[in-house]
Amino acid sequence: MNCHDVSRMLDPYVDDELSPADAAAVAAHIEQCASCGQRLADRESLQQLVRAVPYYTAPDRLRIAIGNAAPRRSWRVPPMAAWAAGIALVAAIGGAAGLRTRQVAQSTAAMAEHVVDEHVRALTSQRLFDVRSSNQHTVKPWFQGKLDFSPPVADLSSVGFPLVGGRVDSIANRRVAALVFQRREHVIEVFIAPVVARIASTDVRSIRGFHERHWVQGDLSLWAVSDLNERELREFVDAFVSATR
Amino acid sequence: MSERDFEQLVVPHLDAAFNYARWLTKNTADAEDVVQDASIRALRFFRSLRNEDARAWLLTIVRNTWYGRLAKHGTDRVGSDEPLTDDRREEALSPEALVLQQQTVAHVQEAVESLPADFREVIVLRELEGLSYKEIAAIVGVPIGTVMSRLSRARERLLARLRPAIADGGRA
């Protein structure tokens, strides 16, 4: 075995991937070849170095979210499980289930990202609403002629989520209605569009500190997004759904 | 496979999944998204897991999820087929230089992160997960010989880059 052969076997040698015979031959060569011995030493030093880089452990919130996603016998359906069920349901309808599930998961995630991006953009711009009113009978007709669908609008002041206004916006090249609500110092936005195909029918997630919930109402897709805590955002969505059903 | 099995077989590998995703995406938020999406898929396809190693199976899903997102957003260099320039140096690593200082770890981390994704992942799967070539080949979906050559080229790059850094660290 010459230096060239050994150099090609150094990696499997340090990784214990050689047959005993090959490993013995490499070891024998290295015994008497200083330059190959040095190359082996370099490999081993590098291995030690690389093994000292961080091993990133899963954050608790991820662990909890995924633990909850696993089906349980408990009566309570955790939000993640509902989301998973939504994806599974949509996927089951498709023919190529694998591809479809992946596309659904991706599209759902992508849409959620777009929604948060748009919410952040609106918050930082001067234009949070085009119609400022807490009166649903002012806001709802305002959308007429601006959209090819009629978004559900409700003032939820009675349950602590006053309607502040609305605007027409665009997310992922779709024209959407945006409703702005308030809870203490928090802004909640609801984006509404004709039902978006190929995304999960329910979706709950946290993105960059914002909470986001997606659901389908009739033939409309709705997203609620806010920096409000998850529990209150869920209360909000429940109140919105029952007020507009 | 029962529902309990999912928790018993897959959930214990969340750290492996997250670590792999974190090294692929190079940031925590994306890694969380990837692992979350991957877990949903894992849950969906759980019944397809038979006698395979659950960790390798989950890592494969993580990888596919990440590549799927990449294809959509296109944010990283995936390919590494550019010719490897021979920039090896002749100086050896001195034993003193191996004193691991935080600075050195940071250098190594940077060096690993700067590798093209398909070199980076074989390093992570081999050195941090301790997987065999065969297991890595299954996860990455390439022949064992390719795993070996990628590892070799990745290590040559790391050596070329880390020698001076380690020499400096050793002097300091």
Q: What is the pLDDT of residues B103-136, one digit of tens each?
A: 677 888 889 999 999 999 999 999 998 899 999 9
The fold of A107-244 is Phosphorylase Kinase; domain 1 (3.30.200)
Which site among B4, B40, B159 would you substitute to test the A interface, given the most A Cβ atoms closer than 10 Å to its Cβ?
Answer: B40
Per-residue pLDDT of B31-66, as tens digits, reads: 999 998 898 888 877 777 766 788 898 999 999 999
Chain A residues with CB-CB distance to B14 below 8 A: 58, 62-63, 66
Q: Which CATH architecture has domain B3-73?
A: Orthogonal Bundle (1.10)
CB A134 within 8 A of CB A153: no
Which site among A6, A43, A46 would you substitute to test the B interface, given the most B Cβ atoms closer than 10 Å to its Cβ?
Answer: A46
In angstroms, the CA B17 to CA B22 distance is: 8
Q: Is the pTM of this model over 0.80?
A: no
Closest chain A residue to B93 measured between Cα atoms? Answer: A42
Neighbouring CB atoms inside 10 A of A81's CB total: 17
Domain ranges of chain B: 3-73, 95-167
Q: Is the pLDDT of residue B143 over 80?
A: yes
| 3-state SS class at A215 | strand
- Residues listed for chain A: 245
The pLDDT value recorded for residue B51 is 65
The pLDDT value recorded for residue A17 is 93
Q: Do A73 and B65 touch (CB under 8 A)?
A: no
Name the helix (H) or strand (E) containing A175. Answer: strand A174-183
The pLDDT value recorded for residue B94 is 52
Band the pLDDT of B3: cuts 50, 70, 90. Answer: low
The pLDDT value recorded for residue B102 is 59
Residues of chain A with CATH 3.30.200.100: 107-244
Short-list B63, B49, B73, B67, CA closest to B20: B63
Which class would CATH give B95-167?
Answer: mainly alpha
Q: Do B31 and A110 touch (CB under 8 A)?
A: no
Chain A residues with CB-CB distance to B112 below 8 A: 50, 53
Out of A15, A56, A84, closest to residue B133 by CB: A15
The pLDDT value recorded for residue B159 is 92
CA distance A87 to chain B (A): 8
Q: Do A42 and B159 touch (CB under 8 A)?
A: yes
Question: How, if at all, do strands A131-132 and A163-171 pair?
Answer: antiparallel
